[in-house]
Structures are given as C-alpha cells and as structure tokens.
C-alpha cells in the first residue's frame, strides 16, 4: 500500500525519474527485439537464397544394374519431388572440329543427353550465349577450344566404333558445371578439382542415335541421372531446412535400396547457409550484445543520476519508521513500473523497426521463436530496470544507516575492487594473448570441418574481443579516475578557460565526484567505441562487398565478346565510347594458355591503365602492390603474374621463365610463348577463383598475332551502370554478353549479404547514436537536474550564469571530451580486431579499414549537440535559483 | 529612525505560490525598510511568511505584486556576492566542497584569488572555532556545525546586509546563543544591518528591534515604526 502511494506520488510529482529509466529499458528491449527480428528475417532469407542458388536440387545417379525408368518413376513419386527428368552421361575420347582450314581436337570429353523441356525445368542450368537452345549445344570453353560457332560441325569420337558428326545449334555457359559433373556419392575431398573442359549437350533423341552403339556394346559407359526439383516449402532456419532435406535424401536412398545414390545439391547449399547463419549469430553477439549491455549501463547511469535523491528519500522514510522491507517494496514498485513501461515501449519500437527495416513485424522465425525473443527481450528489460533501481536501493536499504543514506559524496580513498586487482590489465593481457594465438590459425571462428554434420563456433577465439572490450572500458575508468584524483593541478589549468577563477573549485568538485564522472567517461568511451567499431565494420564490409561485385564483373559494365568473335582493341573502344553514359573503356584480353597439361585463363592487360580502370586492390596481389606489379609488367612485357597454386605446383621462383602454349590468332595452332614469373595474383577482375595468369596485352598480341579482346571493362560517367548496360546491349546485340555491377551485386553476394547486414548495422548505428546521445547529454542533463539544489545554493551565494557555466561546461567537457577521445582509440583497436576476427565474412579480405567519416562526425556532432543542449537548458533554468529548491533551504 | 537611504525597501511586496484555487498567499502586501546598522528580529510561527520575506529582500525571489528595491546598494545584480549575505535555515553547504572551500566560495565568486579567499575563509572559520573542520566535507560534520559554517561563509565577505533565516534552528541553546553573538558582533563591527528570522523568543530578545509576522503580514513593530504606508 505504501509502495503504491509512493509510486503514485512519484509519477505525479517526479515523472522524469521513472520515465528516464523506462526510456533506457525501452532502448535495450528494442535493440534486442530488433535483433530477434533481424535474425528471423536473416534465417529466412538465407534459406530462400540458398534454395534459389541451386538449379538441380537432387541428382540421383542410377547404380549398375538399375533400371533408369524404374528409378525415374520412384524419384518422381517420392514425396516432395515436384519434377524429375532423366539425363544421360557418356564419355568421348575427343571432339574434333575443322574451321577456316584448321582442325582442332580436344582431349577427353563428355556428352550429355538432355530430355525435352530440360532447359525449362531447370532454368539457370544452361545459359545461352549464342545460337539456339533447340539442338546440339556446346559448352563455352569447348566452343573456344574447337573454334566452333552455331552451325559448325563437331565430330564426336566414340570408343570402339566410328566417329559421328553433329551440328552445333548453340553455345551455352554451364554456371553449375561443378555440381552437374559431380561424382555422386563421393566425399567432398574426392570430387574432381574442375569440371570437364569439353562438353556437348545433345537432345535425347540425338544422344540415343550417337550413343546407340556404345549402349549396345558397353552399356556401363553410359550413366543415367535423375535430376529432381523439390518442393521448397522448407523451414525458415537454414539449419532446420538442411536437416529436413538431408534426412529426406537419406530416406529416398533407403527406398531405392541401392539402385540409386543421391547427390544432394540443395543440402550442400543449405549446409553453407547454416554456416552463414552461425556467422549471423556471431554478428549478433558482436554487434548486438554490446549494444544491449550499453543500453543497460546507460540506463544505470541515468538512474544513478537520481540515486542521491532516492537515498535521501529512503532516509526520510526510515526516519518515519519505514522498515527495510518497505524500502525494498518501494524500490521494486518503481522497478516494475519503469520496467513494464520500458518493455512495452521497447517491443513496440522493435515492431516498427522490424517492419521498416526488414519488412517483418515478428521477433522470430516462428511463433515459439517470436515468443522466446519477446520474452527474452522483456526479461533483459526488467533486469536493466532492476539493476538500475532495485539493486542499488536494496544494497542501500540493507547496508546504509539513515546518516549514510543522506551522504551524497563520500570520500573515495580506495579504488574499486577490480581496480585494486588490476582486472583491466589482466583482461587486456588475456585478450591480447588469445588474439595472437587465434591469429596464428587464421582466426577461424566458425568451424565446419568437411564431412562433419555439425558446424560450431570457436568460442575461445571469441573471448579476445569480448575481454578486450571489457578491459578497455575498465581501463578508461581507471584513466579518468587517475586524472581526477591525481591530476588536480593540470585539471585546474585545463578548466581555467571554462571556469575562470572558479577552476580550482570546479576541479575539487569534479575530483570528489570522480566515481560518477569516471563511470560517465567510461560509458561515453564504450558507446563511442561501439558506434565507431560498428560503423567501420559495416563500412568495410560494404566496401568489400562492392569490391567482390567489382571483381566478378570487372567494372561498372563488362562487355564479354562471344567465343570465336575477334574484336580488336581500337574497334571495340571506338564502338563503345560512342554510347551515352560511357566514361572509359578498358580492353581486357582473355585467352587460354597451357602450362604443362593444365589449361588456365590468361588475361592480357594494359599495365598503364588497368590499375585505375580495374580499381585493382593491393590485397589481390603478392610480391608488391598492384601499381608496383603493373609497373613491372609495363617495363618487362614478358613478365607474368600467376596464381599461388601454380607457383606451388610448378615450384616457381621469381624471375623463372614460364613457357606457355597459346593459340596463334592466324594459324590457330598452339605456339610456345616465354614469360617471366614476377608476382602472384590472387584475384583479378573477371578472373575465376582458381588459377589464372595476368600478362602484358601488347606482348600477348605480338606473340599470338592477334589483339582480339575478350572483354571490355566499361566505367560509366556517373550514369547508373544498369542503364548504360542496357544501352550497350542494344548496340552490340547478341555478339557480346553485357553485365553490369548493379545486377552483379545481387548475383555474387554471399549468403551473408542476404543477412541484410546493412539492415542490422542501420539498426546498430541508429541505436549507437541514441545511446551516445543518452550516455552524454541525457546523463549529464539529469545529473545537473538532480544537482539543482547545489546550483541554487551557488546562485544564492552570488554565482553568475557564467560561473555556474564553469561547473556545467567543465564536467561536460571532461566527460564528453575524455569519453570521445578514449572511445576513438578504443574504436580504432576494436575495428581492427573485429575485421580480423570476422575475416570469414569478408570476400575478398580488405586491404584497409574503410572509415565512414560522415557517420562518425554525425555521432560526434550529435553527442556534442546533446551535451550543449543539456548544458544550455540547465543554465537557463539556473538564471534564477530554483524557487522550490530555495524554499527547502 | 535610521539616517540615509534604506538598504532594502519593500513597497507593497506580496508573494503568492501557485495559481487558481490551489494558490497560497505566503506574503501579503508588505511595506518595510531596513537601514544600515539596524538589527531586527523577525518572529512569527511557521508558515507566517518570514522566509518568503527574507527571500524577497535578498533578491532571490520576485514579488508577485508590488516591488522590492535596494536604494543604498543598487540593482539586484549588485547584491551578491558581498553586499547581501543570506544564511538559510536548511543545509546549504555544497556537498562536494570542503568546509574551507564552501566558506571561500562566495569570495572566489566575487573575484578574489583562490589563495586570498582561503586565507579570509580561514579567519572567518577561526572566529567561530571551526578551523579544525576546514578539510571536512559537509556530510562529515553535524547539522549544527554545518549551520555555523554557513554563518562563517556569510560573514567572511563582510556584507552590508545579513539576512539570516532561522540560523539557530538546528543548534542547541548554547551554540545558538554563540551564533547570535557572533552575528551581532560582526554586524556591529562592520556596521551591517542584520535581520534574523526566528521563532525562538530568546534569540529575538537579543535584538534591539522585533517585527512580528502572522499569516503573511507584519503585525506589530516593537520599536518605532520603520516603514511607511
């Protein structure tokens, strides 16, 4: 009853006190619930994206002796299978084609028999580059090797019988060649390193004709696979979807009783997605938990601004006979009030944020998950309220006497327990050690050993940033405390411009309130570090996602000539430069070169311009910066950059001669061209992930008698690349494939991009801004508000606004300046650690941190603005002593 | 009747707190003047308007009706620090400052160097036998000691007008008598006017003049009339 009366009075007469706490609770709850929404949205998007990236969900391979028709029937009728078609695979010793008087013969090749409607049933499996999909199709690289175009004739060698001819109808790209030609049933390590180079895809009827003699004599040489699509009504969570798909695949295999093995492409994709989902959870840990902890600390700081008054109130109640139990009840009533209001406001805010940022107004992927997230967020909110109000009140009620509860300052001769034991140094040392140790192993956070069903997180490695964050926060407290307790003279000097003749008095005041001020400095620093490191991480991630897209596409717009086309440098540049929106055009040669028996891509570049035109990053190379290596290629045209794998496989040393076999543009014969190995290229625009060469374009042209360009890298003049790509497409027609970076961002983005990292960081950055403003402006403002009595006395003693300003601005400058400076240092170190720790998120790894100056200046500005506002409001209120305070004097 | 301009003049000054039906009239329209050298005891029961009148005279509050002026001192901005000192009835020391720093604060505010202000404050504390408490924080001394420090702080600046609101309210009889003695001595020494509000008649009787307040009005003048209507 007393508690209710007290609460009624509090709400009526001092509503700021519980409402400020409720606001802090709301921020914490909204942050956690928003992250729940984020994870829910993310998991669902990851699953859908993983599904969308698979063309053939299952490839069920008939085992020797099995009836393909029976297998097709069983797979087609298996629950969940929406479509199934039988595809046949045969081998060929070689393909041969004669064009323009020269004959080319390939090595071992594969021939596929595709049933009618295959391209429609599995869209994306075949990408038409030229010609038509109706008829015999030839894979792009095969077309290049044989110099064939639609209409050309290819001779298929057949083991044990005479060769046969087919006419090419179209040239296709096989985007999913790796999975299409997988060895079904083999473990990941036993799969072929690369798909076959030479592939012909025949309509089923043609295949039957071509392979009839083989089928009659050696049927074991022809394999049948059932390609199946599944219903994609799967669980939102990648992990649950993975378990579902994998168990269904096993179930099918058991039903097939040894007649078929399932190549589970969908399961493989979902396996990757669940690893990414684990990364998303780690991101939550790194980006979300510190925010929630900060919200709690800021709330505690805001609540502690009214702690003196609360203690005085308690002392008054004690003198009126209130028992400890009554005081506790009163504190609990205030806690519940602030907590419930905060929780409701926080959940409401999270729903709005979720709706606007992720398009979902649910806290979890399913009902149970949503309830758990909402409940978890609510519990955290109530804990924040309890930690801010109930806990200190309980401690005071039990341990302090009436006189003690009246105390406001107290001498703080001894530091806190953790400081006496040097816990900050211990945490930082352990964090440094773990960081160093984990860095030795490349900082693998998500452990997903091949062949192991479970993925796990290396929690030990996570300790480094966690302990670093806590240790740094404590160290900031120690430093601020040190300045206030031991640095009175320099502090007085620093305060003189603000406080004038009152500087020693202001310094004394601050020194005696050093616990409160040190706590505030530490909190501002932690908030600044949170905002800084989150924004730098986000910015670096975005930059690398952009670099990844640029790496894949090569430039704003890439114009890739069709196989067999021979477009010269001058001709191509002249044609493209005429198109509106085109800024610059960089020709990039693309050839195939044999090193020993291996065929690799070779890119001929103009070393003088490619560094800028291709926006080359230093991290893509070894042995020098991008500019250095291009200078070497320019100076020594025979210099060549190779992949690290090639260096290892061929035991190369810098300066070694590398004899490659390239096709001569005139004779179409392979000719040996000598190069000198001068550096390593790990990545290059438009290059594949595995092995490739980068060489001087002029040298390659001179040695092969052809300056034909593989693709043109087009930078726009600022016009949207998608628009420019459309214009180019309309000019070049089907003679070249035109891709733009806008679409490429969507195509190459990893699952983690689907995580809506931008959505998460937008929330984080928004909360960081709110927390930074609250940690400084609100906390200082409320602190000043609670000390109106002190200011009223000073004012009654004759202090002018300017002199009162000395107190206000002195504290504000110390807390804000100290917090921001130390926070910036923390943010720098944390950003480097975060990017290093979460290196698995980045592809390619970044050269340097990308610093979002705009946002950081915005946060700094917001903090300074709220502090100024708090100070100005305080001083305006103090122009005349607060009359209610004077009436108490 | 004192000579010269009054230090403070209330011309129909009244003060009402709040508005509407809940408004409380703390001070009725009041006419009074205090001259240099006057020593007045302002007596009356709790809620009679003594503190309100003192606050108006000290320029800490504005009358809702009428006017308060300081003809011999100047404008409100010129009252403090130095010219008018106020001693409050409640704890009025700044919690984070030591006794010495609290005492020297008005002097520093008035422009004295920190070093000089400390010396003067030390002297004022010694006068009230408080110099042993110089390095204590307000929370480390008793309420009575804090009140005496507040007196020392008021006297340190040698003000022209001392307005003391129940300065002995928290003190035992002996300490209270000692404080009144110090206040009288200081005002006599500096020629300051002294107005002490109190409900303790033994204190009031020590002062040559006595104004009695009741329901926001000055009822009688025990000496000759000091104000004109």
Please indicate, yes or no, if residue A659 is contained in any of the structural domains. yes
**What is the average per-residue pLDDT within A25-33?**
85
Q: Which residues of A touch B165 (CB under 8 A)?
A: 889
Output b/e per residue, B92-104; b: 16+ Cβ within 10 A.
bbbbbbbbbbbbb
Given an 8 Å threshold on Cβ–Cβ distance, is B108 in contact with A797? Answer: no
What pLDDT, on a 0 to 100 scale, did the predictor assign at position A477? 93
- Domain termination residue (choose one: A378, A408, A438): A408
d(CA A818, CA A812): 10
| Cβ-contact A97, A149 below 8 angstroms | no
CA nearest to A407 within chain B: B139
Does B110 contact A504 at a Cβ distance shorter than 8 Å?
Answer: no
The mean pLDDT value for A471-478 works out to 93
User: Which of A322, A260, A210, A237 lies closest to A58 in space, CA to CA?
Assistant: A260
| Whether residues A579 and A650 fall in one domain | yes
Percent of chain B exceeding pLDDT 70 equals: 94
Q: Of A343-347, A368-372, A714-718, B41-45, where does mean pLDDT reach its minimum?
A: A368-372
Strands B39-43 and B193-198 turn out to be parallel
Place of tokens 């928004």: A766
Contact present, B25 and B49 (Cβ < 8 Å)? no
CB of A799 within 8 Å of a chain B CB? The answer is yes
pLDDT at A73: 92
Q: Would an 8 Å CB–CB cutoff place A407 in contact with chain B? A: yes
On the question of a cis peptide bond just before residue B81, with omega within 30 degrees of 0, the verdict is yes
In this prediction, residue A564 has a pLDDT band, given cuts at 50, 70 and 90, of low
- Residue A372 inside a domain? The answer is yes
* Percent of chain A scoring above 70 in pLDDT: 88
Mean pLDDT calculated for residue range A245-249: 92
Q: CB distance from A50 to chain B under 8 Å?
A: no
d(CA A396, CA B224): 56
For residues B108 and B13, give the distance between their C-alpha atoms in angstroms, rounded to a whole number. 32
C-alpha dist (Å) from residue A853 to A218, A359, A539, A849, B117: 69, 29, 10, 12, 48
CB contact under 8 A, A796 and B81: no
Q: How many CB pairs under 8 A join A and B?
A: 84
Please indicate, yes or no, whether residues A348 and A496 belong to a single structural domain of this protein.
no
> Per the domain annotation, does B22 fall within a domain?
no
Residues A783-788 have a mean pLDDT of: 73
Question: Is A509 in the B-facing interface, judged by CB distances under 8 Å?
Answer: yes
Tell me whether residue A451 is exposed, middle or buried, using C-beta atoms within 10 angstroms of its C-beta: 0 to 12, 13 to 18, 19 or more.
exposed
Q: CB of A542 within 8 A of CB of A838?
A: no
What CA–CA distance (Å, rounded) separates A246 from A237?
14
Helix (H, G, I), strand (E, B) or coil at A116: coil
Structural domain contains residue B187 = yes
Q: Which of A476-480, A803-807, B162-166 has the highest mean pLDDT?
A: A476-480
Query: Does position A400 have pLDDT exceeding 80, yes or no?
Result: no
Residue A110 CA neighbour count, 13 Å, CB half: 18
Helix axes A503-512, A459-486, angle to 10 degrees: 140
Question: Is the pLDDT assigned to residue A852 strictly greater than 80?
Answer: yes
Contact A881 B108 (CB under 8 A): no
**Which of A230, A263, A279 is the last residue in one of the domains?**
A230
Task: Decide if A797 touches B, using CB distance below 8 A.
Answer: yes
Kindly determine whether residue A794 and residue B55, on different chains, have CB atoms separated by under 8 Å. Answer: no
Position A566 scores a pLDDT of 65
Write down the pLDDT at residue A407: 53
Question: B32: closest CA among B46, B60, B17, B52?
Answer: B52
CA–CA separation, A665 and A671 (whole Å): 10
DSSP A636: S
Chain B: which residues have CB within 8 Å of chain A? 51, 55, 58, 60-62, 79-82, 86, 88-98, 101, 105-106, 108-114, 137, 139, 153, 165
Q: A97 in helix, strand or coil?
A: strand
Contact A252, A57 (CB under 8 A): no
Give the torsion sign (CA, B153, B157, B158, B159): negative
Contact call for A798 and B82, based on CB within 8 A: yes
Total count of domains within chain A: 4
**Cβ–Cβ < 8 Å for A57, A230:** yes
Q: Which residues of A touch B86 (CB under 8 A)?
A: 796
Check whether B46 has a pLDDT greater than 90: no
pLDDT number for residue A734: 61
Chain B residues close to A784, C-beta within 8 Å: none
Give the bridge partners for A150, in sequence order.
none
pLDDT for the residue B225: 42
Kindly state whether residue A882 falls inside one of the protein's structural domains: yes
* Residue in chain A nearest B147 by alpha carbon: A889
**Same domain for A476 and A492:** yes
pLDDT of amino acid A192: 66
| Pair A250, A382 in one domain | yes
Residues of A in contact with B60 (CB under 8 A): 796, 880-881, 886
Percent of chain B with pLDDT over 90: 11
Tell me the pLDDT band of A548, cut-offs 50, 70 and 90: confident
From the list A790, A886, A887, the residue facing B94 with the nearest CB is A790
* Average pLDDT over every residue of A30-37: 81
Strands A639-642 and A670-681: parallel
Residue A405 sits at the chain B interface (C-beta within 8 Å):
no
Q: Tell me the β-bridge partners of A603.
A: A590, A694
Inter-chain contact B96–A513, Cβ cutoff 8 Å? yes
Residue B30 to residue A232: CA distance in whole angstroms: 89
In a domain, B16, yes or no: no
Is the pLDDT assigned to residue A365 strictly greater than 80?
Answer: no
Is A512 near chain B, with CB under 8 Å? yes
Mean pLDDT (whole number) for B121-135 = 89
What CATH number is given to the structural domain containing B113? Answer: 3.40.50.300
- Give the mean pLDDT of A602-627: 84
Place of tokens 């009822």: B219
Could you tell me which chain B residue has the CA closest to the CA of A791?
B94
- Chain A nearest C-alpha distance from B227 (Å): 26
Note whether B94 contacts A887, CB cutoff 8 Å. Answer: no
Section A862-868 average pLDDT: 86
In a domain, A364, yes or no: yes
A649 shares a domain with A787: no
Task: Tell whether A793 and A860 lie within a shared domain.
Answer: yes
For residue B51, list chain A residues with Cβ-Cβ distance below 8 A.
887
pLDDT at B51 over 80: yes
Q: Is the pLDDT at A639 greater than 80, yes or no?
A: yes
CA–CA min distance A790, chain B (Å): 6
pLDDT tens-digit map of B212-227: 888 888 876 544 444 4
- Is residue B149 in some structural domain? yes
Nearest to B60 among A504, A505, A796 (CB): A796
- pLDDT, average across residues A166-181: 87
Q: Say whether both A203 and A338 belong to one domain.
A: no
Which residues between 482 and 501 in chain A have a beta carbon less than 8 angstroms from any beta carbon of chain B? 501
pLDDT at A403 over 50: yes
Q: How far apart are CA A712 and CA A584, in angstroms?
A: 10
pLDDT higher than 80, residue A68: yes
pLDDT at A845 over 80: no
Residues of B in contact with A880 (CB under 8 A): 60, 62
- Report yes or no on B195 lying in a domain: yes
Q: Residue A557, SS3?
A: strand
How far A538 CA lies from chain B's nearest CA (Å)? 44
Q: Which residues of B touch A889 (CB under 8 A)?
A: 88-92, 165
Contact check, Cβ <8 Å, A794/B94:
yes
Does A331 or B90 have the greater pLDDT score?
A: A331
Q: What is the pLDDT at residue A684?
A: 85
Which residue in chain A has the smallest CA separation from B106? A797
Which candidate from B90, B101, B153 shows the least CB-CB separation from A508?
A: B101
- A413–B contact, CB cutoff 8 A: no
Q: In chain B, which residues have their Cβ closer than 8 Å to the Cβ of A495?
A: none
DSSP string, A130-186: EE-SSSEEEEHHHHHHHT--TT-EEEEEETTEEEEEEEEEEEEE-TTHHHHT--TT-
Q: Mind telling me how many Å the CA of B97 is from chain A's nearest CA?
A: 6
Round to whole Å and give the CA distance between B214 and A200.
Answer: 113
The pLDDT, as a whole number, for residue A189 is 59
A602 within 8 A of A588, measured Cβ to Cβ: no
Angle made by CA atoms A180, A186, A189, in degrees to the nearest 5: 95
Whether residues A104 and A168 fall in one domain: yes
In this predicted model, what pLDDT tens digit does every residue of A655-703 receive, in sequence order? 888 899 888 877 777 889 999 999 998 888 888 766 789 999 999 999 8
Please check whether residue A502 touches B, CB under 8 A.
yes
Number of alpha carbons in the 13 Å side-chain half-sphere of residue A693? 32
Q: Which domain holds residue B158?
A: 39-59+74-221
* Candidate from A466-470, A560-564, A813-817 with smallest mean pLDDT: A560-564
Crossing angle of helices A779-786 and A801-837, in 10° steps, is 150
Residues A884 and A754 in one domain: yes
| Pairwise CB contact (< 8 Å): B113 & A408 | no
pLDDT digits (tens, 9 = 90+) for B172-197: 777 788 788 888 888 887 788 999 99
Residue A752, pLDDT > 80, answer: no
Task: Note down the domain range covering A340.
Answer: 1-58+236-408
**In whole angstroms, what is the distance from residue A728 CA to residue A721 CA?**
10
How confident is the model at residue A682, as a pLDDT?
Answer: 86
User: According to the model, what pLDDT value does residue A166 have?
Assistant: 94
Contact A794 B114 (CB under 8 A): no
Whether A207 contacts A111, CB under 8 Å? yes
pLDDT above 60 (res A609): yes
User: Taking residues A553-561, what's their average pLDDT?
Assistant: 83
Q: Are residues A216 and A321 in the same domain?
A: no
Per-residue pLDDT band at A345 (split at 50, 70, 90):
very high
Same domain, residue pair A207 and A325: no
Residues A50 and A107 in one domain: no
The structure tokens 């000719």 sit at A671
Straight-line distance from the first to the last Cα atom of chain A, in angstroms, rounded to the nearest whole number: 31
Nearest of A315, A306, A376 to residue A334 by alpha carbon: A306
Q: Tell me whether residues A509 and B108 touch, CB distance under 8 A.
A: no
**pLDDT tier at A13, thresholds 50, 70, 90:** confident
* pLDDT for A366 beyond 70: no
Averaged confidence pLDDT in chain A: 82
Q: Where are the alpha helices (DSSP H) in A257-390?
A: 265-283, 289-304, 307-319, 324-357, 367-385
Lowest mean pLDDT of A151-160, A753-762, A789-798, A832-841, name the range: A753-762
Does residue A286 fall inside a structural domain? yes
| Confidence band of A562 (pLDDT split at 50, 70, 90) | low
Distance between A532 CA and the closest CA of chain B, angstroms: 34
Which ranges in A358-456 belong to alpha helices (H)? Answer: 367-385, 391-399, 402-406, 417-420, 423-440
pLDDT, position A229:
92
Q: How far apart are CA A695 and CA A630, in angstroms?
A: 9
Measure CB to CB from residue A501 to each of B92, B108, B139 and give the nearest one. B108
Distance from CA of residue A391 to its chain's centroid? 39
| pLDDT of the residue at A154 | 94
The percent of residues in chain A predicted with pLDDT above 90, rounded, is: 18
Q: Measured at the alpha carbon of residue A472, what is the angle toward residues A469 and A476, in degrees to the nearest 5?
A: 140
Q: Do A512 and B61 touch (CB under 8 A)?
A: no
Q: Indicate the residue among A688, A709, A730 that finishes a domain.
A: A709
Contact A214, A51 (CB under 8 A): no
Angle, helices A757-773/A324-357, rounded to nearest 10 degrees: 140
Residue A406, token pair as written in the block: 């009246």
pLDDT classification of A190: cutoffs 50, 70, 90:
low
In a domain, B27, yes or no: no
Q: Does A516 touch chain B (CB under 8 A)?
A: no
Residue B159: inside a domain: yes
CA angle B64, B69, B72 (to 5 degrees): 170
Q: Strands A153-158 and A95-99, how do they pair? A: antiparallel
Q: List phi, psi (to 5°) of A364.
A: -150, 170
Is A714 within the bounds of a domain? no
Q: For residues A818 and A480, is the Cβ–Cβ distance under 8 A?
A: yes
Q: Does residue A724 sit within a domain?
A: no
Looking at the partner chain, which of A508, A797, A886 has a beta carbon nearest the beta carbon of B81?
Answer: A797
Phi, psi angles (nearest 5°) of residue A571: -65, -45
Question: Domain total for chain B?
Answer: 1
Flag if B94 and A793 touch (Cβ within 8 Å). yes
Give the pLDDT of residue A203: 95
| A400 sits in which H/E element | none
Q: What is the mean pLDDT of residues A388-409?
A: 67
Nearest CA to CA, how far is A506 from chain B (Å)? Answer: 9
Query: SS3 letters for chain B?
Result: CCCCCCCEEEEEEEEEECCHHHCEEEEEEEEEEECCCCEEEEECCCCCCHHHHHHHHHCCCCCCEEEEEECCCECHHHCCCCCEEEECCCCCCCCCCCHHHHHHHHHHHCCCCHHHHHHHHHHHHHHCCCHHHCCCCHHHCCHHHHHHHHHHHHHHCCCCEEEEECCCCCCCHHHHHHHHHHHHHHHHHHCCEEEEEECCHHHHCCCCEEEEEECCEEEEECCCCCCCC
From chain A, the residues in CB contact with B81 under 8 A are 797-799
User: Given 3-state DSSP classes, what are the helix, strand and coil percentages for chain A, each rounded to the nearest 5?
Assistant: 60, 15, 25
């Amino acid at each position: 009853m007393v508690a209710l009366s007290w609460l009624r009075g509090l709400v009526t007469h001092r509503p700021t006190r519980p409402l400020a706490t409720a606001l802090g609770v709301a921020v914490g709850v909204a942050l956690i619930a928003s992250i729940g929404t984020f994870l829910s949205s993310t998991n669902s998007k990851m699953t859908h994206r993983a599904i969308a990236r698979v063309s053939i969900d299952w490839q069920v391979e008939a085992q020797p002796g099995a009836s393909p028709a029976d297998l097709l029937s069983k797979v087609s009728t298996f629950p969940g299978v929406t479509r199934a078609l039988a595809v046949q695979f045969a081998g060929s010793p070689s393909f041969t084609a004669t064009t323009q008087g020269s004959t080319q013969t390939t090595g071992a090749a594969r021939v596929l028999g595709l049933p009618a409607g295959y391209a429609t049933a599995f869209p994306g499996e075949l990408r038409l580059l030229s010609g038509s999909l109706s008829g015999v199709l030839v894979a792009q690289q095969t077309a290049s090797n044989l110099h064939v175009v639609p209409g050309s004739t290819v001779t298929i060698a057949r083991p044990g019988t005479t060769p046969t001819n087919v006419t090419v109808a179209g040239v296709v790209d096989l985007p999913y060649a790796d999975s299409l030609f997988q060895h079904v049933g083999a473990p990941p390590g036993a799969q072929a390193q690369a798909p076959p180079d030479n592939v012909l895809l025949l309509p089923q009827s043609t295949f039957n004709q071509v392979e009839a003699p083989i089928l009659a004599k050696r049927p074991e040489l022809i394999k049948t696979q059932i390609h199946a699509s599944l219903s994609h009504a799967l669980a939102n969570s990648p992990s649950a979807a993975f378990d579902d798909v994998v168990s269904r695949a096993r179930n099918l295999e058991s039903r097939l009783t040894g007649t078929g093995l399932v190549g589970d492409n969908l399961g493989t994709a979902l396996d990757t997605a669940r690893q990414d989902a684990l990364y998303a959870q780690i991101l939550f840990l790194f980006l979300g938990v510190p925010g929630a902890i900060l919200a709690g600390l800021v709330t505690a700081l805001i609540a502690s601004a009214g702690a003196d008054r609360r203690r005085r109130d308690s002392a008054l109640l004690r003198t009126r006979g209130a028992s400890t139990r009554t005081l506790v009840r009163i504190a609990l009533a205030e806690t519940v009030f602030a907590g419930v209001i905060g929780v409701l406001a926080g959940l409401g805010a999270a729903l709005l944020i979720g709706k606007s940022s992720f398009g979902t107004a649910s806290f979890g992927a399913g009902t149970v998950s949503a309830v758990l997230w909402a409940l978890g967020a609510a519990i955290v909110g109530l804990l924040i309220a309890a930690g801010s109000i109930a806990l200190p009140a309980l401690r005071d009620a039990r341990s302090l006497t009436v006189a003690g509860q009246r105390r406001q300052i107290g001498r703080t001769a001894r530091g806190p327990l953790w400081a006496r034991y040097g816990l900050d140094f211990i945490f930082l040392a352990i964090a440094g050690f773990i960081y160093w140790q984990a860095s030795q192993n490349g900082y693998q956070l998500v452990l997903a050993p091949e062949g192991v069903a479970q993925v796990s997180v290396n929690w030990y490695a996570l300790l480094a940033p966690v302990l670093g964050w806590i240790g740094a926060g404590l160290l900031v407290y120690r430093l601020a405390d040190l300045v206030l307790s031991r640095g009175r003279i320099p502090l007085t000097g620093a305060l003189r411009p603000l406080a004038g003749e009152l500087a020693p008095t202001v310094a004394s005041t601050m020194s005696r309130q050093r616990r409160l001020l040190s706590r505030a400095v530490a909190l501002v620093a932690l908030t600044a570090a949170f905002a800084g490191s989150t924004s730098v991480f986000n910015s670096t991630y975005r930059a690398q996602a952009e670099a990844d897209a640029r790496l894949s596409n090569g430039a704003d717009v890439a114009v890739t000539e069709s196989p067999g086309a021979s477009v010269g440098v001058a001709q191509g540049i002249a044609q493209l430069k005429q198109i509106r929106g085109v800024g610059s055009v960089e020709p990039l040669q693309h050839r195939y070169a044999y090193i020993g028996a291996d065929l690799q891509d070779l890119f001929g570049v103009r070393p003088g311009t490619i560094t800028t035109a291709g926006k080359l990053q230093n991290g893509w190379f070894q042995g020098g910066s991008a500019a250095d290596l291009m200078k070497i290629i320019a100076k020594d045209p025979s210099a060549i950059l190779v992949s690290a794998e090639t260096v290892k496989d061929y035991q190369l040393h810098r300066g070694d001669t590398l004899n490659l076999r390239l096709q001569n543009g005139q004779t179409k014969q392979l000719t040996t061209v000598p190069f000198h190995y001068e550096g390593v290229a790990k990545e290059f625009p438009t290059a594949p992930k595995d092995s490739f060469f980068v060489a001087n374009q002029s040298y390659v042209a001179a040695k092969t008698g052809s300056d034909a360009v593989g693709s043109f890298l087009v930078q726009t003049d600022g016009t949207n690349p998608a628009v420019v790509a459309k214009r180019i497409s309309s000019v070049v027609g089907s003679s070249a494939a035109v891709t733009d970076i806008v679409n490429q961002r969507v195509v190459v983005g990893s699952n983690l991009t689907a995580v809506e990292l931008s959505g998460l960081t937008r929330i984080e950055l928004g909360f960081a801004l709110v927390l930074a403003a609250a940690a400084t402006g609100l906390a200082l403002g409320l602190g000043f508000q609670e000390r109106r009595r002190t200011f009223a006395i000073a004012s009654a003693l004759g202090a002018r606004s300017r002199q009162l300003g000395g107190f206000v601005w002195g504290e504000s400058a110390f807390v804000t300046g100290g917090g921001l400076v130390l926070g910036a240092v923390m943010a720098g170190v944390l950003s480097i650690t975060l990017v290093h720790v979460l290196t698995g998120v980045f592809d390619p790894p970044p050269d340097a941190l990308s610093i979002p100056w705009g946002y950081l200046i915005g946060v700094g500005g917001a903090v300074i603005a709220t502090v100024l506002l708090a100070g100005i409001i305080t001083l305006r209120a103090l122009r005349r002593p607060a009359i209610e305070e004077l009436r108490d004097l | 009747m004192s000579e010269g301009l009054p230090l403070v003049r209330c011309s129909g000054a009244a003060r009402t707190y709040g508005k509407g039906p809940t408004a409380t009239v703390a001070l009725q329209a009041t006419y009074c003047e205090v001259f240099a050298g006057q020593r007045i005891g302002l007596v009356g029961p709790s809620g009679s308007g003594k503190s309100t009148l003192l606050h108006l005279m000290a320029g800490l509050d504005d009358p809702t009706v009428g006017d308060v002026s300081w003809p011999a001192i100047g404008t409100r901005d010129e009252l403090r620090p130095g010219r008018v000192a106020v001693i409050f009835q409640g704890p009025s020391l700044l919690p984070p400052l030591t006794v010495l720093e609290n005492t020297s604060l008005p002097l520093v505010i008035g422009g004295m160097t920190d070093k000089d202000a400390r010396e003067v404050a030390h002297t004022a504390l010694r006068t009230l036998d408080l110099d042993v408490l110089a390095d204590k924080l307000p929370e480390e001394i008793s309420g009575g000691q804090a009140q005496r420090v507040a007196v020392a702080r008021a006297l340190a600046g040698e003000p022209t007008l001392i307005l003391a609101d129940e300065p002995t309210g928290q003190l035992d009889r002996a300490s209270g008598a000692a404080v009144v003695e110090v206040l009288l001595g200081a005002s006599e020494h500096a020629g300051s006017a002294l107005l002490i509000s109190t409900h303790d008649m033994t204190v009031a009787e020590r002062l040559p003049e006595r104004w009695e307040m009741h329901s926001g009005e000055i009822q009688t003048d025990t000496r000759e009339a000091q104000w004109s209507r």
